[in-house]
Structure 1
């Protein structure tokens, strides 16, 4: 066969390997054209490139240093993760209770109109207004899939041999597979209202959860003071009870100042890539091939089809003109005109809106939409850069019968990973300029996790691909990764406060590169999460409720307002409120400068959780324009739990938008790393 393809160029060395024992095949070096020729021969089942596979599924937990064989403590089964989302699909293998004992004795929760088990130990739903759509189910069952996906990412069981129709195949698992899940359904077809979210916090705190995962945020940038939304309020009360809250940074990036939840007592999580990438190619009748971004499971077998401009087939009867149909907005294109054709759209519509292409073979979108978050559609589709899109337009104008085909997607390695996805919202904190947000990054692109069979993977009703596992991208996927990491740390340190866990996650994070992420720490915070290292951070920055109260005094809250919130005798009088933000014991430092000269002093206290007798030396990595001094620069400890304070002074002269520095406390075994960001100019 190889000789028939290669002809006189054939050399025996071209055959790299032959399969002879269990099946018949061989490995040979071929060009793409030669491979196509071989594929058309009789008795050839398939010809495919030798792409790489990896022993993973979401593989995200492996990439961030939490492999399946990581050390586990029996206490993990007593950890309860509360997920606020669209519900949960209880029949998924990810939530089987085989091998689980009864719920922890501390659990006070319940299940409403829902059959729980020893894995899903709680399930409630909240719809304060009582308005439902036809698709909604009035119980904690997940119709949407989002809540199931997030729940299995944080605490799903170990499930072998899963994939999305062959993509991302491997073993599915959450960060804490032995932990219990409590679902608080707050999201419906019309959205997730603040009242329901706050009700969920109320119940979850009472029920006895240890960690809360909230992959929710507004659809537009709206800056409101602290305690003007349910997540701020609920997470503050959770913090008071020792409950950790992880919250998605939102999907409104890549511009700065696009975060919508930024309270310092919760963990704000950005979405990072972690190596997996999907590409979907388009081939034109002239042989040109362009690479786009979607997850296309359909195989057109490289058959060519006529290609047509959407702008040339407006749905005139429906009241649409060509300026509307070119964007492929809903119902704007004539259904008869698309039959048997590939449609070229000058814009982008969400995956759930492609149903109006009745009879179309496929769709090619061209847009500046992020290429790092591929969508899944109900028919062959790809999303190209505007440059490639224009080249296709030129080809169509230059030939009488333009044709094209859309290939099945390929799963490839992203050599630039990890980097922050373009959709991930960026800081800084618009309310408190001298605090860093987001806090940390976690995998949030192309994550495979459990799904509900009640919703097709394209989320379009006529799509019959209703599968048990789904690939999604978003900070919604990053948030449960961070929640799972927090639960993992808590299983080793059940008495640590939320601030201690947050500190451990941040100071042990893997640094990320500003060469790839221009917004630097405002894109990735302290860096990429590393759960195993976080169990042994050496030092932690703890924050009490009283510390947050003092911080809020500095933010302009009155004693009366604080007393209502804290339900104690908090008082703002007699305190240096202007400097309160510089004393909030965060494991990060941020400074907004509104001029060229500056000098500020930060006060911090660290708690020894490493070796009883240890000595830490301060090391500062800083650009020449900054002078950063730490006093004292050596901290010596003689016992676990001992506290030591220090000051960090930042002085300089600059008009650079963002400057990044690092403080590292090093005892030879632990490197306690804190990001330092000075910004101004357009960074404001």
Structure 2
């Protein structure tokens, strides 16, 4: 069976032929990112009518940038300082990131897309008929808070339906100090869901940087395709590593050297440093024309600057993702790396070659990739984050032709499509899925759409991710099921204000988030456990047993007359009671409340259970999780 490119949507059980609505072309997805490459085939507007009447935005067009009926609006924001080298003062994308995310969420169908023949197939976004509104907030030197907030305000006023933000801070910030959390609160008040990337600082715990309860936080998972890059040695032994290597070396074999044997002594380096191939540490004379073995995974720029033909890097980090490099490269595990090192030491003239990457099936998928930021939620530990997992590993999507494959010096490859990884890639998958759900349910609140995505997600395996729900949240996106979830956990601005007041926020800090004159009083001071969230998390110090009582309300959006029974899954150490255990509905829109009591014995492992409301047609699943001892 041929693996299709945007394998990611197919892997989620979301084929192009899936049922769609006629109003999908009225859905507007806002991309807050590095801009867009408007000439990309993913953004052609053939067959599109004029923008929907609700659209109030504008296009900052110029000599080098125009919008169309696909990209219906585009603005750029630069409140701080001069532009960096390569930056363009227009919504045009000179980085690639924004074009990649926009085409993943809402790009049109493009057949025979590939990166130099890798991942060939049809590229498409989740909602190919929807419109894209571009808000360029990020530049070569980052994304400023003022620009992020201004873009949120404009997107809200412009009439968008979903906001996608593949941007995050370097460390966690409280809600009142986080421009994305504040912007997402304002969008939620206006009926717009914000989808956020979780961050790329995993696998350590508490590394997630986007975790506000009113936004959707998306972890990065694998798909069932991976890229393998073989290295053949002069003794005919072949070792498999990982990378997305588009290069085909013309000659058979090249001299193979070890970075530790070729230090740039004139610059003061010795082998103890040059073995890692860090900047300027390699002797150009000795490395020129060779393949260099390095003891550290890097971007490959140092080897290229030293005129290496290619590089082999041995490292324990990131075993589950293939990166692009500016020269032929393969990333090896330590076992393979030591075998290659032994070969270098066993012969006077070691040689090697690096083959072009090939696609391989990853039968373990899906699992959360190592770099994806983990929970627990660093500010509110009793709210589970991330919320959900989407495809974020080795994703092929549109790219800017104002840069190269890697954007690094010496890389000459200018391409229309590129393969990259990150929670920046999983976020627009969730944004596209949210837009798909909204096209079927245009009146739903942001919380209802988020609930639908979370409660229909495919459960994932703690055997592959021992941090369990703190890695993957509710599970892996399933957009088809999310369009018809049966029940939703709804919430609105008042509920989140009650939550913030219950967290002890002063009126000053509360108003920094809400942007209005909300105040806290005894009447609106609630506990975190009563926020109507579609998941359940406990927090406690290690070595104790705790009991938490959660109050929840579900709204019937499935069959008008239906009876749901509670099905509880609880591992040893977790006791879960649901009262009542049967919910009966007589009409659509009817609400029913219930209480979940959870007793957890905090120990050495994450305790991961679940509650499923099942009426025989719909299964509405929520994870219930308690942390391991800290």
Structure 2 length as normaliser, TM-score? 0.97
Residues in 2 aligned to 1:133 and 1:334: alpha-carbon distance in whole angstroms: 31
2:155 aligned to 172, 195, 204, which one?
204
Residues in 2 aligned to 1:383 and 1:560: alpha-carbon distance in whole angstroms: 50
Q: What root-mean-square deviation, in Å, do the aligned CA atoms of Structure 1 and Structure 2 show?
A: 1.6
1:590 aligns with 2:537: yes
Shift of 1:96: 0.6
Residues in 2 aligned to 1:253 and 1:193: alpha-carbon distance in whole angstroms: 23
Query: Residues 303 and 310 of structure 2 are in contact (CA less than 8 Å); yes or no, is this contact kept in structure 1?
Result: no
**Alignment CA distance shift 1:623-1:466 (3 Å):** same
Structure 1: which 5+ residue stretches go unaligned? 1-51
Residues in 1 aligned to 2:544 and 2:524: alpha-carbon distance in whole angstroms: 25
Paired residue for 2:418? 470
Q: Which fold has the larger relative contact order, with Cα–Cα distance below 8 Å and residues 6 or more apart in sequence? A: 2
Shift of 1:575: 4.5
1:677 aligns with 2:628: no
Partner-residue secondary structure (3-state), 2:522: coil
1:493 aligns with 2:453: no
Deviates most, 485-494 or 283-292: 283-292
2:563 aligned to 586, 598, 615, which one?
615
1:294 aligns with 2:217: no
Paired residue for 2:480? 532
After TM superposition, what 4+ stretches of structure 1 lie above 6 angstroms from structure 2?
none
Query: Residues 354 and 377 of structure 1 are in contact (CA less than 8 Å); yes or no, is this contact kept in structure 2?
Result: no
Residues in 1 aligned to 2:442 and 2:73: alpha-carbon distance in whole angstroms: 21
Structure 2: which 5+ residue stretches go unaligned? none
1:252 aligns with 2:201: yes
Partner-residue secondary structure (3-state), 1:138: coil
**Alignment CA distance shift 1:630-1:302 (3 Å):** farther
Paired residue for 2:141? 190
**Alignment CA distance shift 1:182-1:353 (3 Å):** farther
Paired residue for 2:226? 277
Residues in 2 aligned to 1:280 and 1:104: alpha-carbon distance in whole angstroms: 47
Paired residue for 1:649? 597
Residues in 2 aligned to 1:261 and 1:489: alpha-carbon distance in whole angstroms: 22
Residues in 1 aligned to 2:175 and 2:508: alpha-carbon distance in whole angstroms: 16
2:39 aligned to 85, 91, 96, which one?
91
Shift of 1:460: 2.5
Shift of 1:211: 0.5
Query: Residues 128 and 196 of structure 1 are in contact (CA less than 8 Å); yes or no, is this contact kept in structure 2?
Result: yes
Structure 1 length as normaliser, TM-score? 0.89
Paired residue for 1:32? none
Query: Residues 602 and 626 of structure 2 are in contact (CA less than 8 Å); yes or no, is this contact kept in structure 1?
Result: no
1:147 aligned to 90, 95, 98, which one?
98
Residues in 1 aligned to 2:602 and 2:288: alpha-carbon distance in whole angstroms: 61
**Alignment CA distance shift 1:625-1:324 (3 Å):** closer
CA deviations 1:633-655 (Å, max 9, x no partner) are: 11111111111100000124342
Paired residue for 1:518? 466
Residues in 2 aligned to 1:569 and 1:172: alpha-carbon distance in whole angstroms: 46
Q: Residues 231-380 of structure 1 correspond to what in structure 2 (within 5 A)? A: 231-300=180-249, 303-351=252-300, 354-358=303-307, 360-380=308-328
1:174 aligns with 2:122: no
Paired residue for 2:354? 406
Residues in 1 aligned to 2:421 and 2:50: alpha-carbon distance in whole angstroms: 34
Shift of 1:376: 1.5
1:542 aligns with 2:476: no
**Alignment CA distance shift 1:669-1:216 (3 Å):** same
CA deviations 1:190-234 (Å, max 9, x no partner) are: 11122211111111111111101111123x4x2321121210110
Asked which structure has the greater CA Rg, the reply is 1
Shift of 1:63: 1.1
1:159 aligns with 2:110: yes
Partner-residue secondary structure (3-state), 2:529: helix
CA deviations 1:448-489 (Å, max 9, x no partner) are: 101111211132243232111111111110000000000000
Residues in 2 aligned to 1:568 and 1:197: alpha-carbon distance in whole angstroms: 19
Paired residue for 2:172? 223
Query: Residues 593 and 680 of structure 1 are in contact (CA less than 8 Å); yes or no, is this contact kept in structure 2?
Result: no
Shift of 1:564: 5.6
Residues in 1 aligned to 2:237 and 2:628: alpha-carbon distance in whole angstroms: 46
Paired residue for 1:428? 376
1:122 aligns with 2:73: yes
Shift of 1:130: 3.0
